[in-house]
Amino acid sequence: MESARLLKIILVLTLCLGLEAKEYTRCQLTRELLKNNLFPRTFLSNWVCLIEQTSDRNTSAFVEKSLRRKYYGLFQIGSEWCKEGKKGGKCDITCESLLDEDIKDDAQCAQRVFDLEGFKYWPKWEVRCKGQQLPDIEKCPDWVYIPSRASPPRDKRTLRGRRELRRARRHLKMNLLI
């Protein structure tokens, strides 16, 4: 009886841990980023490079450099952007939410970091990605497959296209400033 309960607890714990941490392959990561339409395509290989260099594509990567300088998740977002235990920081999210498997909020926060500080926020992007050979994500099967499947109606498509173009331009401008 007692051991059955223990087994159940262990099972639940294992399941929880399994759900919390994930290490993507390059193409899985590309797929996730494409699926949620999280970044403009033009710069996706830069984001993939950044993630590979900063967190090894590990959604629960956590680095504590000091009490006030901690870095969370896939994008290794610093503690000034979030708050431990409750929503807060410059992204108005909990730091814990940057460590789970749901990468949508991570990406939204990373986009905000980018909008305010550019890729130069991530020193590893500057050293390992900027002007370097970027990951060849166009070889990933979803590069072609995802957009055609999620193809929106024509009017929405142009609207989204325009939004994406604006975003891409902003990206480009930031890139030139760096």
Ligand X SMILES: *[C@@H]1O[C@H](CO)[C@@H](O)[C@H](O)[C@H]1NC(C)=O
Q: Residues with Cβ < 8 Å from 170, sequence gap 6 or more?
A: 115
Q: How far is the CB of 102 from ligand X (least distance, A)?
A: 16
Contact yes or no for 122/71 (Cβ under 8 A): no
Provide the residue type at 17 as one letter: L
* x-marked contacts with ligand X along 129-168 as a string, rule CB under 6 A: ----------------------------------------
Q: How far is the CB of 59 from ligand X (least distance, A)?
A: 8
State which of positions 46-85 bind ligand X (CB under 6 A): 58, 60-62
* x-marked contacts with ligand X along 3-22 as a string, rule CB under 6 A: ------------------x-
Q: How far is the CB of 61 from ligand X (least distance, A)?
A: 4
Q: Residues with Cβ < 8 Å from 151, sequence gap 6 or more?
A: 157
Torsion of CA 160, 166, 170, 171, to 10 degrees: 40
Residues forming the site for ligand X (CB under 6 A): 21, 23, 58, 60-62
